[in-house]
A and B are shown apart, each in its own frame.
Chain A
Amino acid sequence: MKTILLLIVLLPFAGFLINGLGRKLLGKGYIAFNACGQILASFVLSVVVFMTVRETGGQVVNYFDFISVASLKVPFAFQVDQLSSIFLLIITGVGFLIHVYSASYMKEESNEHYGRYFSYLNLFIFSMLLLVLGANYIIMFIGWEGVGLCSYLLIGYWFRNTEYNEAANKAFIMNRIGDLGFLIAIFWILAKVGNANFTDVFASVNKFSPSEITIVTLLLFVGATGKSAQIPLYTWLPDAMAGPTPVSALIHAATMVTAGIYMVARSNALYSLSELSMNVVAIVGLATSILAATIALKQNDIKKVLAYSTVSQLGYMFLALGVGAYSTGVFHVMTHAFFKALLFLGAGSVIHAMGGEQDIRKMGGLSRLKITSITFLVGCIAIAGIPPFSGFFSKDAILLAAFEHNKILYAVALFGAMLTAYYMFRLFFLTFTGKFRGTEEQEHDLHESPPAMTIVLVILAVLSIIGGFIGIPDVIMKGGDKLTQFLAPVIPLKAEEAVSSSTEFSLMALSTGLVVVAIVFAWFRFRKYEFKPSKGLGKFLENKWYVDEFYDTVIVRPLNKLGEVLNEGLEKSGIDALVNGIGKAVQYGGRQLRWLQSGQVGSYVLLMVVSIVLFFVLQFFLRK
């Protein structure tokens, strides 16, 4: 087990080193083979680990002392249990598919950049694995920072474009803001418990007072809002679409953004003790999901729509965590990884076919891309939550959990689910039905993507269809919720006041019915689409609630102003003036003192005599 876990993590790292160092020497074929091969090997080993965990349960594997100062010991250890093994499968599995897809999608890049791209991807998988396998908050934090770094590198992959670089900076800085909260929480835990091992921390929660638990969990949640793009730190994620599409699929949909969910789910022992934190998590999650869903209604960039839908779905996951349904949150992470990766890769395929066009107003009628359109439709149905697609099970479980917790949360979440169905099918209808609205040249060049890409789409589509069957609610099939049972050792089962099965069925029918209504509505609205510039509320939504502008005026510009003031006031006329002043004073003093060294022996002697006399006089007076 020890070696296998190490290999799972180190194989992608080896891939990163080989591709990163040899990017100028290796051919594309080898680079792609190397990158995909490492991840595939990692995936196979993850399956082995998963099987072992299923039979023997979780364990902590120690490697060496990472930090050892006085009484503080931070071991470099991996914790493999039900929760992390599921994440292992998601990361390496979806990661592998996306690697394969990338190998074909990025073919037009030059050799060197191709190598760079894959080395970053591998480094990302490495960091993500470190994040989910770490047995304490410190190791988790290393991976946490690693994925932030890789996301920065990959968003700014086309580094000649200033706008993309700014998007990369934005992502990095936003993440850093969140990381600060996480870091403070870690230090707090270290100070209280003495180490940061999950097992020790969760075993000694009684060392914290209730208010401390609240503060620590809220700080952890600040970290999660940064990484998982929740209010108020979500604005980086839509901008992160500057990276290549497979990157969006891998990092900004399937894996990295779920790090926050993983962290909260991992810390469930802490969260469960603080009702306030739970409420904050639920409300922030729900607010984010509605906000992002409304923005997604009016976006015209195919990737932006998906990005906002990601933010919205992440909000759902946090809602699930916030109402105490941790395993449901993890379930949604998994199904979301499937269908969102599918949607992003489908979008990549569309963009590929359109020769780089991302504006859905200029698409339409793309159903001639058979595989892409069918798989995309599968993805849309899955995310909208129509049974028996995977999204239905996970989203319905979240809605149910919200219903049990609080009816208002449920109503708002249900509204969000309708919005989701509406904007996803708006996207689908605009892209794949109606007439083609692009240029003739584009129409002529339309082509289905190569098999390496379409096969991946098909696999993900299949997963999106069947992925939900591991979490069938009890009312439909007794003991169907295998995931929750599997996760039970890590995430204690709730002693819930189960709603009656008739209520549960009617809730399902209600949500499905509303979703279908939303889809039909979208169909009538966007079947024959004519582009009109939006106004009023539409314009407000199209401009993303002006949140970016708001942040710009409230935070960025005042900070810049403050910087300017400090630069002018403190730096130039303060510190600079002081330093220059000292120099000038010394120069001036030197000039004034120069006459003392006249070279006239007589004057030196005079000075000597005068000073001696002075000393005598002083002595004389001081005596008295």
Chain B
Amino acid sequence: MKENARLKKIATQIRIDIVTMLASAGSGHPAGSLGIADILTTLYFMLLHHNPKQPNWPGRDRFLLSAGHLCPALYATLAEAGYFPKKQITTLRSLGSTLQGHSHRGSPRGVEIDAGSLGQGLSVACGMALAAKLNKQKHKIVCLTSDGEHDEGQTWEAVMFAAKYKLDNLIEFVDRNCIQIDGSTEKIMPLEPFEKKYLAFGWSVEKINGNDIMQIIKAYKKALNNKGKPTVIIAKTTPGKGISFMEGDCQWHGKAPTTEEAEKAIRELKLLK
């Protein structure tokens, strides 16, 4: 439980940084970024093997953010972990900043892929998983996709491929927040029965509350021991998690908070610390 409290505290700080950076950028995607903060925190501060001082260490676990619009969460997490100085976070989306509106490999250090156009990350993850197997390397490939990007055919091409090649070194998190830019996923393009689809495609499936750190840890550890199949962890998250006036409201998918809204949000978050 001590570990849980430590990680919760970090997740709250990451949420504060997400709100700060989006308010200073004036545009971006708060709801999803806040929703995945617990997953990223648990990965980077407990589960992943990585070294912020050696971002290209060949033995690191690869974390691929396929849903590039959620990069504020990744940037905030990398800054918190020490990949780059935190004072840079307010340069998000500014001319010349390493923190581009959607993320690029190596910018900042620690980002593995270019993402923004949805549906590509899981394919790239499959390539990295194959390479690791060819090289007899033990690291894992962890890819976070959004539920909305399952509208893309390419995601399912990769799902089939990963099962065919038994990529058990691949762990996918789906941010199942049930919203996408134009509304609810089940209205725009229904994904249910989501779990059954993955099972039918030959994957191991874990279904968790993606805002519950203990559940994230448990599912990930189970995936680590999975043999012969890739694992998907369908993580139900609350969009805008942690901020009362954003939680569950799809209008915050792609709208940055104003300075006043950000101040209000940060006051709420600080109460959690």
Is this pair of chains taken from one and the same complex? no
